Amino acid sequence: MGEIKGFRNKEVMITGGLGFIGSNLAMALVRLGARVTIIDNMLPRQGGNLFNVKGIAGKVKVNFSDVRNELSMNHLVKGKDYIFHLAGQVNHVDSMRNPVQDLDINCKGTLVLLEALRRHNMDARVIFAGTRGEYGSSVTLPVDEDHPTNPKGIYAVTNLTAEKMVLVYDDVYKIKGVCLRITNTFGPRHQMMHDEYGVFNWFIRKAMDDEVIPVFGDGRILRDFLYVEDLVGCMLMTAMTGVSYGKVFNVGTGVPVSFYDLAKTIVRITGTGKVKYAEFTQERKEVEPGDYYADISRIKKIVKWEPTTSLDEGIRKTVAFYKKYKKEYWQ
């Protein structure tokens, strides 16, 4: 990631910056010489964790605020060069239990941020983190950006809506925005307390605790798994690519892996745990979209990005991190 130039002394804001992706992004930006402001409301069970940024404490500003707060956003967007908008309700199960909160955080929060930019900083560039869930069940594989969007859960509906808002503000108000539809991401600094989002990291916890990894159904559902450092590199490169704005990009590896093979690989690398088939819970069955892996040819061509971390290497790095800092994530 050392070759990414252009962030030195830039003012960068990360919404949801104490979470999994945001904290890894913040660490990379600090290394690149950016002046980073983190916004996070520390909503319980969403993954925000102050330990995530312990290594850069004193080098970033942390603001405990909410993207839905207009006064906060109007003030915080001033003077920012880049805004990585990662704040969102990311718990698939919660989004079905409490869909109104999902709508409020993902849609209203995005709109409040965009309106703050329209009034107070039209020159900022917005990088929006969306989800591959926006596609719903795959009609064709691999999935490219022109694939139909038929989300299965409210979380994916509100993400798709937020993405459209970013693109409308880019088109109508010329507030530059780029939208990433991100595949299942894993790695250090992900919450490890429950299994309601981030199944990959939950598998790692189960293996590290020498417990059974529950693989739902026949274990043959395919997914595209991306290591977080690759995602961070992608976000930084996309932000620096002028022609990326106004566009939507898939972010993934394009390499399909079944959940059964994933679980077996984790057990092999961790050296503990075992794999067992399990019945889908009703809540999971309702939002399970089936096979997914991304066509990443658009981002390869325009941003010149592609992932470099193998599945094995990513798992090894993740396990090593949690072995070292287990107590910060397990309870």
Backbone angles phi, psi at 57, to 5 degrees: -55, 135
Query: Tokens at residue 314, please?
Result: 């990513």
Considering the chain, what percentage of its residues have pLDDT values greater than 90?
Answer: 87
How far apart are the C-alpha atoms of 260 and 266, rounded to whole Å?
A: 10
Compute the average pLDDT of residues 292-300: 98
Mean pLDDT of the chain: 95
Query: Tokens at residue 149, please?
Result: 């969007």
Structure confidence at residue 240 as a pLDDT band (50, 70, 90): very high
pLDDT tens across 3-36, in order? 799 999 999 999 999 999 999 999 999 999 999 9
Q: Residue 258 contacts by C-beta under 8 Å, 6 or more apart in sequence?
A: 219, 220, 221, 222, 223
Structure confidence at residue 308 as a pLDDT band (50, 70, 90): very high
Contact criterion met (CB below 8 Å) for 133 and 155: yes
Structural element, H or E, at residue 36: strand 35-39
pLDDT at 331: 83
Inter-axis angle of helices 311-330 and 199-208, nearest 10: 70
pLDDT at 93: 72
Contact criterion met (CB below 8 Å) for 17 and 63: no
Which DSSP letter does residue 188 get? T
CATH architecture assigned to 11-187+225-253+293-307: 3-Layer(aba) Sandwich (3.40)
Domain residue ranges of the chain, discontinuous segments joined by +: 11-187+225-253+293-307
- Residue among 163, 304, 313 at smallest CA distance from 229: 313
pTM score, two decimals? Answer: 0.96
pLDDT at 10: 98
Which residue do the tokens 């290591």 mark?
227
pLDDT at 120: 98
Which residue do the tokens 């980073």 mark?
36
